[in-house]
Amino acid sequence: MLLTREERKVWYYNQTHKTIDGIIYKQCTRCNEFKPMDKDSFYT
């Protein structure tokens, strides 16, 4: 079954993001670890 563009975007987001105790974590593309989505971890 083929996915639409929107379905692929949702699938990818669900693979690279997760929520733990109300904090959104994103998977780092360099080390593949999940880090909190904040300015210190990703937007430097």
Convert the pLDDT of each residue in 1-44 to its tens digit: 799 999 999 999 999 999 999 999 999 888 999 999 888 877 65
Classify burial at 26, counting beta carbons within 10 Å of its beta carbon; exposed 0-12, middle 13-18, buried 19 or more.
middle
Q: Please give the model's pTM, rounded to 2 decimal places.
A: 0.72
Give the separation between CA 5 and CA 39, rounded to whole angstroms: 29
pLDDT for the residue numbered 22: 93
Give the separation between CA 16 and CA 2, rounded to whole angstroms: 20
pLDDT for the residue numbered 36: 92
pLDDT for the residue numbered 29: 87
Give the separation between CA 16 and CA 25, rounded to whole angstroms: 8
pLDDT for the residue numbered 40: 82
CA 33 to chain centroid, in Å, comes to: 10
pLDDT for the residue numbered 38: 85
